[in-house]
A and B are shown apart, each in its own frame.
Chain A
Amino acid sequence: MERANREGILLRGNATEPKTLDPHVATGVPENHIITALMEGLIAYHPTDNTAIEPGMAESFETNEAGNVYTFHIRDAKWSNGDPVTAHDFDYSYRRVLTPALACEYVTMLFVVKNAEKYFKSHSEPIPGEEPMAWEEVGIKALDDKRLQITLKAAMPYFPQMLKHYSWFPVNPRVIEEHGGISSRNGQWMRVGNHVTNGPFRLKEWKTNQILEVEKNPDYWDADNVKLNGIRFFPIESADTEERLFQAEQLHLTYMVPLHKLDLYKAENPELLRLDPYLGNYFYRVNVTQGGPLSDKRVRRALALSIDRESLTNNTLKGGQTPAHNFVPPGIKGYPTNEFLSYDPQEAQRLLAEAGYPGGEGFPTFEILYNTRDDHKTIAETIQQMWKQTLGLNVQIINQEWKVYLDAQSNLEYDVSRAGWIGDYVDPYTFLEMFTTGNGNNDTGWSNARYDEIIRTAPLAGDDIKRFAMLEEAEAILMDELPILPIYIYTLPYLIHPSLKNWNPKLLDNRNMKYIWLEQSGE
């Protein structure tokens, strides 16, 4: 650790072996940690503020009066192979994302751009006899080397927030073309030696299941202000092993904390433990399609009101989680956190009786489904107990292996199922959008025409005050119908060495790594 501090190298536990380093193919959190250290988008991350616009590859940008055309001014920046970063690189990158054969899982992020969805669809399912849409018709244009123009479907004030997501990061077209071309998923370009980047760090070493090391990128436009000399990411899957490494001073930062160690750290080394707020909601899905009692919204409300969330977070979980009284997690500037749900056993019993099951009489036994993991089990048992005590319901809990559980959930082969959702960007939309009719992530069978209508039109509202008011209405519908039962708001528990500086809580765990530094002991 002393050596690492002297050398300015951050040692970080990173959960699992990254699936990929390609920003247009990646999906997971460990991948996010690495990609955001290696690359930079148009907008970068502010060291403390979640929604502030920190200049990245774009020195500045302006919008037209209608607010739907953005012009970005690309700064003088270089790729790590010496190529200049130009507006054309972005144009190419976004065309790459919208190339169906690349199969970018986040392609829908780009559908806010004018004609992007049409372009994608016309290329993925070409209509016989019709030319697929030309790229020129899509609202992305490099006006010259320095100016990139993006035309959106409508004014979307939260567009700059979306740009912080790695699916909007650029790749170097020359390098991509050299290693298989625009639609290739062969991954050759991201190997050590081939990898070319524009961010504060560049790839140095990568050994599967062992280490991924990045070093300071001297070609980065702001290299003088990059304080670390490198970062080593260790794919440590076991929380206990990671914690031992932390104790042995082999890690500055862990990815997780073993649940059974939380109390110990709180009592003895609170300065090493961080419980950051996180933009995520832990909830139960309810399958509303079975026609039984769970299809009755009074029953669902009774279930929701009889969960004592305070007791669950304070006595059972103890990891700093906060009770969820609504669906959209707090912390989004300008969006209110309404208390739609409280703990109200009397009202719950009344609703259940009104639905025809006084004291749970005649209510069929149903199941809570969760994927096999200790904390999910504990929560399910606690809620099972609460529903038994308050409502007199007989609930069984069943666990399934991860992929089996995902399958069951997506085929609506469950009664109540545990779920979680982390926002893609800091906006209520990334939460509320998923419960529209037929959305791939709805998974409850719930459908509401008014809700769909609001979600469809809200992005076109123009300004955030109007838009947030609309989304608030949508959330009120969701919390009235309750196809989901919110339980708690996530925290991000991890261990941090005191020598690591300027590491601030961020709602989406996105950090601009150039601001992070290590203090040498004795300084």
Chain B
Amino acid sequence: MFKFILIRLLQLIPVLLVIITLTFAMVRSAPGGPFSSERKIPEHILEQLNEHYGLNDPLHVQYFNYLKKIAPKKLDIGALLKFDLKEGLGTDLGPSTRYEGRTVNELIAESFPVSFVLGSFAILLALVIGIPAGTIAALNKNSAMDYGPMSMAMFGICLPSFVLGPIFALIFGLWLDWFPVSGWRAIGGFHWTENIPYRVLPVVTLSLYYAAGIARLTRGGMLEVLNQDYIRTARAKGLSTTMVTIKHALRAGLMPVISYLGPVMAGVLSGSFIIEMIFQIPGLGRHFINAALNRDYTLVLGTVLFYAVLIIMLNLLVDVIMVLLNPKLKFDS
């Protein structure tokens, strides 16, 4: 297994190189620059700004300088867990060109934990809703207990969060006044529990789409498994439906869900621009989009890189879990 993980980690290097190169090329070929604005900057000032951010060098020099700065130079897990890439890996993602005096490392370290909390609770909730719903639907195929949850799931998939979010904020925030309409934490609050109400609506809104997907995948996976011989054997032994489902069927039936979770988790954990805009959440998703609009070169590269690493690591994790769950698969790179 360790060999498997090691090889996969080594594969990360060429993949990341390709991603950095492509992103670098794309962001630098977009018209406009970080300092173009409606009120034009005087020529010599622009010159100074470009100088300050190293944008006067030839492109290939800038590219290699960037690679040098981001290349990992050390490993300090403790610092990494605090999202400190500088101390943890020696990676310097450079200064943001938009946010004066703030580094991309800082911006990511500040916003990723927020997106992480939002995302992990949303995924958790999606699993809690989706798996039982899909299982019940599969067990009661073609009955009301199937159509009910599945039409709800269809609804969840079709309703985008930019519709659902404002509706929730309107109903549960403004009209019923159960939760704050937006925000991430209680300003001037004294205790962390005061923050909980702020997180309910964004977590629920974000989770519903994924809950729907998970429910449908669970149903599909379960249906396939429930027809298999070993399930019939288990039943023949006299096991109850509940036991069969939980002990035998789910293990195999959840395979599609697990492989779905890898990329989804990376996407959700690294922030959702729409949810963050609607609910005014200081997460990574906003940086992701705004950086591109602002031509904040370093922040674009930093967030893309971060997202790429995250998605690769989570895919690896998913592969490991799949093998552990399914004895038929082997660690084989």
Contacts and interface: CB of A to CB of B under 8 A. Distances in A.
Whether chains A and B associate is: yes
Contacts of A101: 48, 51-52
A238 B282 contact: no
Contacts of A250: 180-183
B100 A27 contact: no
B209 interface: no
Interface in A188-232: 188, 190-191, 207-211, 213, 232
Nearest to B170: A244
B179 to A, nearest CB: 10
B15 to A, nearest CB: 29
Interface string B83-98: 0000000000000001
Contacts of A121: 44
A438 to B, nearest CB: 11
B60 interface: no
A361 interface: no
A402 interface: yes
Interface string A91-126: 000000000111111011000000000001100110
Contacts of A234: 280
A337 interface: no
A240 B293 contact: no
Interface in A394-447: 401-404, 406-408, 410, 419-420, 440-441
A244 B49 contact: no
A244 B39 CA distance: 32
Contact of A19 (B42, B49, B98, B295): B98
Given A104-B45, A187-B102, A440-B43, A208 B182 contact: no
Contact of B42 (A105, A186, A402): A105
B26 to A, nearest CB: 14
Contact of B182 (A191, A241, A406, A420): A241
Interface residues of B, number: 52
A187 B170 contact: no
Interface in A1-44: 17, 19-20, 22, 25, 27
A476 interface: no
Interface stretch (B5-13, B28-36, B227-235, B241-249): B28-36
Contact of B40 (A208, A401, A441): A441
A241 B99 contact: no
A48 interface: no
A234 B185 CA distance: 13
Given A103-B45, A207-B282, A441-B39, A406 B32 contact: yes
B37 interface: yes
B184 interface: yes
B313 interface: no
A25 B107 contact: no
Nearest to B43: A440
A247 interface: yes
Given A124-B48, A208-B282, A209-B282, A248 B180 contact: yes
A78 interface: no
B36 A407 contact: yes
A17 B282 CA distance: 10
B323 interface: no
Contacts of B30: 403-404
Given A17-B99, A211-B187, A244 B44 contact: no
A26 to B, nearest CB: 8
Interface of A: 17, 19-20, 22, 25, 27, 100-105, 107-108, 120-121, 124-125, 185-188, 190-191, 207-211, 213, 232, 234, 236-238, 240-241, 244-245, 247-248, 250, 401-404, 406-408, 410, 419-420, 440-441
The 6 closest A-B pairs by CB, nearest first: A187-B101, A403-B32, A20-B100, A209-B282, A440-B40, A103-B48
28 contacts: A17-B99, A19-B100, A20-B101, A22-B100, A101-B48, A104-B45, A105-B45, A107-B42, A107-B45, A124-B44, A124-B47, A124-B48, A185-B52, A207-B282, A210-B280, A210-B282, A213-B187, A237-B277, A241-B169, A241-B181, A244-B169, A248-B174, A403-B33, A403-B36, A404-B30, A406-B36, A408-B31, A441-B39
